[in-house]
């Protein structure tokens, strides 16, 4: 296992993943503003494998924008909105709860999109379960629209 170097951690927009208490999978984008949880940072190879896996699985259903996100994020026009939401909608249409980094201090992650049919941890291939099981969320993704960075740094 090779740990993600600090300079790479804070200069790259990382995608990372966690499993919650209800067997749901969450997707998080650091936006270069947030640190990776220790469980994700400790093994860069596994982190890259999870990114590749979740980027490659097919879309399985519809998703919806979290109402809390809609109220908090104004867009200048529909084109800007679509461009911003694209990667989050893609992840949620694959069954993942998708979060983006908040651009404030202190900050954390704001839920952007929720899947209509959540992908269950137990349905994933064994090798993906092994890697994902290292990052266990202390919250339920379906009911938690905001997660502080301090909380994710305990996962």
Each domain of the chain, given as residue ranges in start order, spans: 6-152
pLDDT of residue 1: 81
Residue numbers of the chain with a pLDDT score lower than 70:
none
pLDDT of residue 72: 84
- What is the 3-state composition of the chain as percent helix, strand, coil, each rounded to the nearest 5? 35, 20, 45
What's the Cα-to-Cα distance from 57 to each of 74, 91, 108, rounded to whole Å? 31, 9, 27
Span 70-112, pLDDT tens digits: 888 888 899 999 999 999 999 999 999 999 998 777 889 999 9
Taking the C-alpha atoms of residue 38 and residue 135, their distance in angstroms, rounded to an integer, is 9
pTM of this structure: 0.93
């Amino acid at each position: 296992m090779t740990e993600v170097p600090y300079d790479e951690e804070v200069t790259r927009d990382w995608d990372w993943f966690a499993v919650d208490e209800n067997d749901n999978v969450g997707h998080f984008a650091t936006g270069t503003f947030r640190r990776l949880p220790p469980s994700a940072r400790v093994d860069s190879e596994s982190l890259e494998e999870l990114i590749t896996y979740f980027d490659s699985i097919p879309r399985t259903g519809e998703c919806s924008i979290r109402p809390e996100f809609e109220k908090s994020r104004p867009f200048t026009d529909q084109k800007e909105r679509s461009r911003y939401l694209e990667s989050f909608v893609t992840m949620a249409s694959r069954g993942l709860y998708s979060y983006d980094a908040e651009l404030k201090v202190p900050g954390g992650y704001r839920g952007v999109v929720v899947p209509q049919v959540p992908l269950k941890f137990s349905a994933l291939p064994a090798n993906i379960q092994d890697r994902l099981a290292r990052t266990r969320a202390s919250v339920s993704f379906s009911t938690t629209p905001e997660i502080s960075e301090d909380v994710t740094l305990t996962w």
